[in-house]
Amino acid sequence: MTMQFACFVTGTDTEVGKTLISSAILHALGRRGVRAAGMKPVAAGAGLIDGVWHNDDADALAAAASVVLAPQLATPYLLRTPAAPHIAAALDGVAIDPAHILACFGQIAQLAEAVVVEGVGGFRVPLTDDVDTADLARQLALPVVLVVGLRLGCISAALLTAEAIAARGLTLAGWVANGIDPALAYAEDNVAVLSDRLCSQFGAPLLGCVPRLAVPSAAAAATYLDLSCLPGWPASDLDSGSNIPS
């Protein structure tokens, strides 16, 4: 099987909606009949359910994907403690090896036509003493989708993250504004300035604005996204972009 599309989803911080947007991308791919797999290379925070360790983010990606993967392939490092990965790994007595993550990604790429890789936390989160998630993204060499959580301070966080992505020679293929703070004043103005600067300085288009959803789901979030400009995105008349703000 030939992989046609892949992307790395990162965020301006933790809890900004990376999993929701990653799941929405997987849902959109599935609607196009594309065999799509989700990968969460490192997940910190797990609970035991019927004798099996589960992570909410990893489970959400698996539910949205159309390709079923073995959990140890989709999430090579499932850590129990909800903490920074290098801390959680130390507590679990685990050494995170980027080479193992890359090998798992290579196997997934043989099983799917599309792969969505979700990072952990923000763009520069330590994995080991000398490797962070930015290094992992560089080694994967995938186009990056940036999720910006709309809250106070998001403009600086987004621009700094975009600079860090560019500094590693990666393509910022697009960004999503995710409404995580319903009380944010001047949210539209924040989106407007980011849309202008991320496009003019980094060539990254706005893929959509997802409001705070009463019941968050991959299907609901996908209706607010136009992903047709992403590199390798499968063409389809399902892409209407009707909810993308002008």
**Residues labelled as active-site residues:** 40
The upper half-sphere exposure of residue 86, i.e. CA atoms within 13 Å in the direction of its Cβ, equals 11
Residue 143, CA distances (Å) to 46, 83, 174 in order: 28, 27, 9
Q: Are 53 and 46 in contact (CB under 8 A)?
A: yes
Residue 210 contacts residue 179 (beta carbons within 8 Å): yes
Give every CB contact of residue 24 below 8 A, 6+ residues apart in sequence: 64, 210, 218, 219, 221, 222, 225
Strand order in the sheet with 114-118: 36-39, 114-118, 5-11, 144-149, 172-178, 206-210
Contact (Cβ atoms closer than 8 angstroms) between residue 225 and residue 176: yes
C-alpha distance from residue 58 to each of 42, 62, 120 (Å): 9, 6, 11
Here the tokens at position 209 are 């604005």
